[in-house]
């Protein structure tokens, strides 16, 4: 007995071979950027408590780890510094002073791994005694004075060998300002991956643990975006596009797949999405409790971000994903 059903979508799902043939989206190691943390000292490899499997490395152990990471085919990392409280001040001076731990590390990484695309973060928070991305005066974040500091930071990172700068601060006008500062100094080849639509999110919690960089007062809502808004993301994207960004990034990824899709439909630049610390932590925590299959959840999440329209994914899963493919 069979009904007359001319269109049977299940035919295209009936075997692994056919399923693979009709698969529309995929994830490759080439699409991934691996965010990593560096800390002062030697021989350090300290796990971030809220991010199982993710470590803060000192330069020596970082270089060892990078050998493994690059052997797995990962071609781009985004390096973030963790600084002790005594290195921080209101002006984030440590972000552009000569000979800092972070800037020296960038040089060493670039020297050892010349083919690796090295991305950096441009924002004050890891160096700021206020724990904010911009300069604080009387409890306010001062936009234009922040730009000058970001300009110095960006130049210092470019001089140290950064290939891609990631302004994550959400100050107005920063992409255009950084582009100008870089070009004036001859760094026309240094790219800008703008954190275009960066939302004020609860999902950054574990990252702030990793860097001890949580804001000392208030929140980041006067510069990071309201999770309720999509039209505002288009304004930010238009500005970043006009100001010379090479990539537009959406952050976080999972609660913002619609934003990724909207930017991808409206702009021809490559779209990146940051699968942030809290998104990583959720899956790891659930997997450790055997509440779900962590590997399958990882693959599904990465696929969903690609399906929404991100070409590039910054993800703490990068190494684990690459190991699965190896």
Shortest Cβ 287–ligand PBG spacing (Å): 18
**Tokens 């075997």, residue located:** 15
Q: Which of 233, 276, 302, 313 binds ligand PBG (CB under 6 A)?
A: 276
Distance (Å, rounded) from C-alpha 247 to C-alpha 35?
A: 17
Distance (Å, rounded) from C-alpha 227 to C-alpha 256?
A: 8
Residue by residue, DSSP assigns 90-145 as TT-GGGTSTT-HHHHHHHHHHHH-TTSEEEEEE-SGGGBTT--SSEEETTEEEHHH
CB atoms within 10 A of CB 56: 23
Which one, 33 or 181, has the nearer CB to ligand PBG? 33
Distance (Å, rounded) from C-alpha 234 to C-alpha 271?
A: 13
Q: Is 77 in the site for ligand PBG (CB under 6 A)?
A: no
Q: Which of 94, 133, 236, 240 binds ligand PBG (CB under 6 A)?
A: 133
Q: Is 302 in the site for ligand PBG (CB under 6 A)?
A: no
Shortest Cβ 6–ligand PBG spacing (Å): 48
Beta carbons of 109 and 57 less than 8 angstroms apart: no
From 8-16, 17-25, 66-74, 203-211, span contacting ligand PBG (CB under 6 A): 203-211
**Tokens 């990034």, residue located:** 249
Shortest Cβ 315–ligand PBG spacing (Å): 9
Interface map 102-121 toward ligand PBG (x if CB under 6 A): -------------------x
Which one, 191 or 266, has the nearer CB to ligand PBG? 191
Question: Which amino acids are annotated catalytic?
Answer: 198, 251
Q: How far apart are the first and last CA of the chain?
A: 47
Q: Which of 74, 76, 123, 141 binds ligand PBG (CB under 6 A)?
A: 123
Q: Which of 94, 125, 236, 240 binds ligand PBG (CB under 6 A)?
A: 125
Shortest Cβ 170–ligand PBG spacing (Å): 8
Residues between 208 and 247 with contacts to ligand PBG, criterion CB under 6 A = 208
Tokens of 132: 């904010």
Q: Is 130 in the site for ligand PBG (CB under 6 A)?
A: no
Q: Is 168 in the site for ligand PBG (CB under 6 A)?
A: yes
Q: Calculate the alpha carbon distances from 170 to 91, 105, 199, 277 in Å.
A: 17, 26, 9, 19
Question: How many chain residues are in contact with ligand PBG, going by CB under 6 A?
Answer: 11
Shortest Cβ 50–ligand PBG spacing (Å): 10
Tokens of 77: 């990392």
Which one, 152 or 208, has the nearer CB to ligand PBG? 208
Beta carbons of 175 and 167 less than 8 angstroms apart: yes
Which one, 43 or 139, has the nearer CB to ligand PBG? 139
Q: Which of 204, 256, 317, 321 binds ligand PBG (CB under 6 A)?
A: 204
Of all residues in the chain, what percent are helix, strand and coil, respectively (each to 5)?
45, 20, 35
Q: Is 207 in the site for ligand PBG (CB under 6 A)?
A: yes
Q: Calculate the alpha carbon distances from 135 to 93, 150, 228, 264 in Å.
A: 11, 10, 26, 32
The residues binding ligand PBG (CB under 6 A) are 121, 123, 125, 133, 168-169, 204, 207-208, 276-277
């Amino acid at each position: 007995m069979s009904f007359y059903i001319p269109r049977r979508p299940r035919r295209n799902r009936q075997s692994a071979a056919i399923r693979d043939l009709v698969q529309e989206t995929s994830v490759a190691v080439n699409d991934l950027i691996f965010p990593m943390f560096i800390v002062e000292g030697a021989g350090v490899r300290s796990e971030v408590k809220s991010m199982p499997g993710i470590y803060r490395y000192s330069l020596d152990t970082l270089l060892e780890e990078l050998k493994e990471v690059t052997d797995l085919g990962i071609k781009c990392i985004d390096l973030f510094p963790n600084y002790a409280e005594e290195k921080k001040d209101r002006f984030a001076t440590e972000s552009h002073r000569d000979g800092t731990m972070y800037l020296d590390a960038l040089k060493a990484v670039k020297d050892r791994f010349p083919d690796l695309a090295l991305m950096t973060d441009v924002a004050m928070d890891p160096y700021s005694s206020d724990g904010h991305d911009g300069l604080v005066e009387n409890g306010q974040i001062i936009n234009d004075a922040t730009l000058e500091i970001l300009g110095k930071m960006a130049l210092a990172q470019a001089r140290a060998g950064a290939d891609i700068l990631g302004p994550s601060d959400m100050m107005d006008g920063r992409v255009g300002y950084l582009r100008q500062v870089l070009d004036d100094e001859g760094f026309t080849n240094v790219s800008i991956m703008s954190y275009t639509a960066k939302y004020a999110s609860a999902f950054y919690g574990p990252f702030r643990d990793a860097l001890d960089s949580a804001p000392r007062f208030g929140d980041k809502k006067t510069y990071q975006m309201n999770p309720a808004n999509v039209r505002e993301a288009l304004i930010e994207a238009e500005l970043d596009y006009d100001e010379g960004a090479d990539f537009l990034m959406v952050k976080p990824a999972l609660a913002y797949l619609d934003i990724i899709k909207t930017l991808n439909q409206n702009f021809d630049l490559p779209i990146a999405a940051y699968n942030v610390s809290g998104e990583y932590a959720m899956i790891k925590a659930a997997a450790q409790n055997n509440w779900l299959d962590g590997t399958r959840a990882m693959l599904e999440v990465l696929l969903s971000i690609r399906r929404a329209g991100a070409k590039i994914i910054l993800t703490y899963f990068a190494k684990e994903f690459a190991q699965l493919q190896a």
